[in-house]
Amino acid sequence: MLYYLLIPLTKYVSAFRIVRYISFRAAAAAVTALLVAFIVGPVIVRALRRLQMHQVVREGTPDSHKAKSQTPTMGGLIILAATIIPTLLWVRLDNRYALCALLVMIWMGGIGFLDDYLKFRQKREGKKNEGLVERYKLAGQVTAGLALGIYVWQFPLSTLPGASTTLPFYKWMLIVPATAWLGWLYVGFVTFILTGTSNAVNLTDGLDGLAAGLCAIAAATFAVFAYVMGRVDTSTYLNIFYLRNAGELTIFCSAIFGACVGFLWYNAHPADVFMGDTGSLALGGALGAVAILLKSEFLLLLVGGVFVAETASVILQRSVFKYRKRRHGEEYAKANRVFRRAPLHHHFELKGWYEVQVVTRFWILGILCAFFALTTLKLR
């Protein structure tokens, strides 16, 4: 929005030409997001406390988390506001990359909001806090994946085939379906990525500041990739595929970074508010959408290495438990779990790590994953 307001003024004030630079608008979006979080944060937190939108402690979490049952949730509204407003202010509104990513984030945030609201209403009515029925939540996520996959396939955003992807370290290898009808496999692939990423962030959101910090790191990393892939000079120098107009995603990712950092002001231990599914599904959907739009779906395994480990720990825990229960009985299965508790962050809590230690060390791992992902720009 500001882009269209300031560009005509460059005829009279040359200083306004700076808005033509994606780097400036990305920095401005990050700062704006931070300011929005600081402004709307206290208002939203007070409103959630007044409405008694308290956190529903998940079954199976360590006993130390029971004290958090009085902490308000749905703080993801802060993240959504602090991402949407700067994006609309600083991004070019005719850019399909940014609009697609933003729409996916809003849709996923809407699913999370409905889930959080239903948990609150069920708790108030004395019912079991299950929130949105799992199959309905999954249906919403799959709908977003199908819509994005079909749109990218049928209406390519760049000169590359819509139904295509790349592999880290193999810069000039473009994976494309052999025949047109196999494009539906790509749609299914996109749906899996989007659903998996949103759920992975949701599983990771179990400790104060953990998911917000890791999402900030991932968003900053994808901002770098969007910037270099959206420029002819840098993409040519690094021998990577050039995606025209993809640079606008740098602004969107910067807004997410600023929003997550601003949210950490309220979510750092001991947290004043939790993001809830409103925030975790929105952030996961946004990161997944960015990876899909940049044709870098497999890069998510590197950038979001901690998210992958958290999700894998839950899958492994449940699979092994079911197998051992079937073979040796429930008592044996409970006594011989792979992890003391899943997801992985709870395992380390029960091993004696303080919550702040787990969060800080997982952040460090997230930064290492980000640096490793960035090496793919140069290594081949």
In which band, very low, low, confident or very high, does the pLDDT at 4 lie, cut at 50, 70 and 90? Answer: confident
Percent of the chain with pLDDT over 70: 96
- State which residues form the domain around 263: 2-304
In which band, very low, low, confident or very high, does the pLDDT at 42 lie, cut at 50, 70 and 90? Answer: very high
Render pLDDT for 323-338 as a digit per residue (tens, 0 to 9): 998 988 888 888 889 9
CB 302 within 8 A of CB 369: yes
Mean confidence (pLDDT) of the chain:
91
213: nearest Cα among 256, 249, 276: 256
pLDDT of residue 10: 78
Q: Within a domain: residue 328? A: no
Mean pLDDT of 19-37: 96
CB 37 within 8 A of CB 83: no
Cα–Cα distance for residue pair 313/60, rounded to 1 Å = 14
232: nearest Cα among 247, 254, 251: 247
How far CA 361 is from CA of 11, 215, 264, 331, 367, in Å, comes to 51, 15, 16, 33, 10
Q: Within a domain: residue 121? A: yes
- Does residue 378 surpass a pLDDT of 70? yes
In which band, very low, low, confident or very high, does the pLDDT at 314 lie, cut at 50, 70 and 90? Answer: very high
Q: How many CA atoms lie within 13 A of 207 on its CB side?
A: 25
> Which tokens sit at 90?
């600083």
55: nearest Cα among 149, 144, 119, 141: 119
229: nearest Cα among 215, 245, 218: 245
The partner residues of 165 in beta bridges, in order of sequence, read 175
Stretch (H or E) spanning 165: strand 165-167
Render pLDDT for 230-248 as a digit per residue (tens, 0 to 9): 999 999 999 899 999 999 9
Helix spans in the chain (H): 2-6, 22-50, 76-90, 96-124, 134-154, 183-204, 210-229, 232-238, 248-267, 276-293, 300-303, 305-328, 330-335, 344-350, 355-375
Render pLDDT for 88-132 as a digit per residue (tens, 0 to 9): 999 999 999 999 999 999 999 999 999 999 988 887 777 776 778
Mean pLDDT of 62-68: 66
CB 281 within 8 A of CB 325: no
In which band, very low, low, confident or very high, does the pLDDT at 185 lie, cut at 50, 70 and 90? Answer: very high
Q: Within a domain: residue 377? A: no
- Whether the upstream peptide bond of residue 161 has omega within 30° of 0, thus cis, is no
pLDDT of residue 52: 80
Stretch (H or E) spanning 174: strand 170-175
pLDDT of residue 120: 83
In which band, very low, low, confident or very high, does the pLDDT at 55 lie, cut at 50, 70 and 90? Answer: low
- Reported pTM: 0.94
Mean pLDDT of 169-191: 86
- Cα 121 to chain centroid distance, Å, stands at 26
Q: Within a domain: residue 89? A: yes
Cα–Cα distance for residue pair 171/44, rounded to 1 Å = 44
Q: How many CA atoms lie within 13 A of 351 on its CB side?
A: 12
CB 286 within 8 A of CB 108: yes
pLDDT of residue 16: 80
> Which tokens sit at 189?
């692939």
CB 232 within 8 A of CB 159: no
Q: Which amino acid belongs to residue 154?
A: Q
Domain count, the chain: 1
3 state SS of 89: helix
Mean pLDDT of 48-67: 71
Q: Within a domain: residue 205? A: yes
Render pLDDT for 252-261 as a digit per residue (tens, 0 to 9): 999 999 999 9
In which band, very low, low, confident or very high, does the pLDDT at 59 lie, cut at 50, 70 and 90? Answer: low
CB 274 within 8 A of CB 55: yes
Q: Within a domain: residue 151? A: yes
DSSP-assigned letter for residue 72: B
Q: What angle do CA 138, 142, 143 make, to 5 degrees?
A: 115
Percent of the chain with pLDDT over 90: 71
